[in-house]
Amino acid sequence: MIWGGLPGLGEALEAKLKIMARWLSFLILAGGMAMAQSDKQEIRFPNAAELHKLAARFAPAPLRVETAHLSAGDRKALARLIEAGRILDEIFLEQYWSGNQALRRKLQADRTPLGQARMRYFWINKSPWGALDDFRAFLPGVPPRKLEGANFYPEDMTKEEFEAWVKILPPAEQEQANGFFTVIQRGPDRKLRAVPYSEVYKQPLTRAAKLLREAAALTGNASLRKFLSSRADALLSNDYYESDLAWMDLDAPLDITFGPYETYNDDVLGYKAAFEAYIGVRDERESAKLAALTAHLQEVEDHLPIDPKYRTPKLGAAAPIRVLDQVLASGDGAHGVTTAAYNLPNDDRVVQQKGSKRVMLKNVQEAKFHSVLIPISGRMLAKKAVADVKFEPFFTHILAHELMHGLGPHQIRVQGRDTSPREEIKELYGAIEEAKADVTGLFALQYLMDHAGKLGLEKLLPSGAAAERQLYTTYLASSFRSLRFGLNDAHGKGMAVQFNTLVDKGGFVAQPDGTYSVNYARIKMAVEELDHDLLTIEAEGDYARAKKLLEGMGVMRPEVQKALDRLEGIPTDIDPIFVTAEELAPSSAGTAKKAGRQGKKS
């Protein structure tokens, strides 16, 4: 599961779910884009100026990563990995749409201002469809919207045809047809067939595997060498199981995610995985902070604001979390809204054996913070509060949010039955759980700040009045960034519950000029009361209470919507520029320009 950086993190799914948000503002911006020009309903596509406005929603963000501390071997390995990562862009373009490569060549050859503007926006989206624009076409001569099956299935195939075909296949062939790593094609007889990725993309995968093996030979880290070698084998064998196990065991200064993972682009069946790469350097300081916070999770659990009988006396092992600075993202990891965190693998066999791993991209979060959250703060917060919006508490709360998914009720009893909050709260669980993780994260940080001296956290977790102001003010600013994307997913609805409840409880206060501020006399108690309610709903599996809370508080109140309307013109997300990747493994200036960066290399 991939996240684009919603504050709190569940942060999560922003990368793929934001596409449903705030169409009205888009239509105002690009009004003529789909305007009927005659009785024939001709479509007018955006001109260069309009394309620049659309692209301006993605603020250019240079990503620089310190690599001086890496060994000489790891630095050389990193250069090979960057080269391999760029190959996945080629494969992803083909996976996303069969016409992408030809369209890219056509746009690269057009050196007019309009052609360059089209190429830039094409490269941001890796397609002719805008990820923030409901996947509408912004170029002529292409399907009006992204194809539901991308290029994983024949364009003329229906879901019913696929299911009827699979039903008559032998079990082994059914597994291949339904699997993550095959493309469904038509044979000469027009019948469907499943073709392995290793065959469909053989040429680029062979080049990528060679580079992974070269990187494996250069690094001195055994776990990285094992993963890269096994993943190189997997690219050519189409069997990713062993290399996924090796990825879960990866413990190295370089942290690499490389291969076919997420299935978001398959809107027909949700089966087929897209290739992506995230190449990063481990952030040792944040990793140390994370380890310190993790060490005190049982103490936080033991003091949660909930009836003691609902607390977990002994927590299980926490899912591993890695904090990285991203050097390069490519393929499915580098189009539309920029991924800021992800949770993999998706293979249930691996999850059952090893669990899953959350990866947090700190420098991506920081770029979003400065490019988006700081401008939002300037318009939404009382003037004197803006100075208290800081990245450190922003990111620390994201870490806490992720850890808090492991705290609170998980195995419960309802009317004598052993069950779980997810089973009892059903479709409402996502929004309740995301709100719980956010609010419990605030509670946990406050508790740890209050006891920093006793717990030995003084150096890693600042405490005192200034630190508290920064934590709650940054959280307030982050709320607006989440609310800006609407209520179409669990994270947005969960944030609406938090915001509205904390306003009603006096923790957040609306000013006469439409801005908001934190009431420090009320915010701690308001957070604790809301956390109690959310934790109790989960502990009791109370569907009716969850429904009442979401219906009453998971809404966009008119005064909040009016305030959010003032954010027009502030970027929605970032457009990463991989500066360090270019320094370590230069691409030609011509390639960079063709990518639509006008000299800014990706």
- The pLDDT tens digits for 377-426 are 999 998 899 999 999 999 999 989 988 988 999 889 999 999 989 889 98
Q: Is the pLDDT reported for residue 26 higher than 90?
A: no
pLDDT (0 to 100) of residue 241: 96
Confidence of residue 294 (pLDDT cuts 50, 70, 90): confident
Q: Which sign, positive or negative, has the C-alpha torsion 183, 576, 361, 368?
A: negative
The stretch 166-172 carries a mean pLDDT of 96
Say which amino acid occupies 481. R
Grade residue 15 by pLDDT with cuts at 50, 70 and 90.
Answer: very low
Q: Give how far Cα 359 sits from Cα of 81, 130, 248, 278, 341, Å.
A: 18, 26, 11, 10, 5
Confidence bin at 22 (pLDDT 50/70/90): very low
Average pLDDT over residues 541-555: 96
pLDDT of 128-137, one tens digit each?
Answer: 999 988 899 9
Residue where the block lists tokens 């370089």: 254
Residue 41 is predicted with a pLDDT of 53
The pTM of this model reads: 0.85
Does residue 101 carry a pLDDT above 90? yes
The pLDDT of 76-82, averaged and rounded, is 98
- Per-residue burial over 156-170, b if 16 or more Cβ lie within 10 Å, else e, is ebeeeebeebbeeee
**pLDDT tier for residue 28 given thresholds of 50, 70 and 90:** very low
Q: Distance between CA atoms of 308 and 303, rounded to whole angstroms?
A: 8
Residue 177 in tokens: 């047809």
Identity of the highest mean pLDDT range in 23-32, 283-292, 439-448: 439-448
Q: Please state, rounded to an integer, the average pLDDT across all residues of the chain.
A: 89
Supply the pLDDT for residue 588: 61
The confidence band for 157, taking pLDDT boundaries of 50, 70 and 90, is very high
Average pLDDT over residues 32-36: 40
| Whole-number pLDDT of residue 452 | 92
Averaged pLDDT, 77-91: 98
Residue 363 scores a pLDDT above 50: yes
Query: What are the C-alpha distances in Å from 341 to residues 7, 133, 231, 440?
Result: 11, 22, 21, 20
Contact 574, 367 (CB under 8 A): yes
pLDDT tens track for 302-335: 999 999 999 999 987 777 889 999 999 999 999 9
pLDDT exceeds 80 at position 432? yes
Tokens representing residue 262 in the block: 């997420």
Angle between helices 429-450 and 391-404 (to 10 degrees): 120
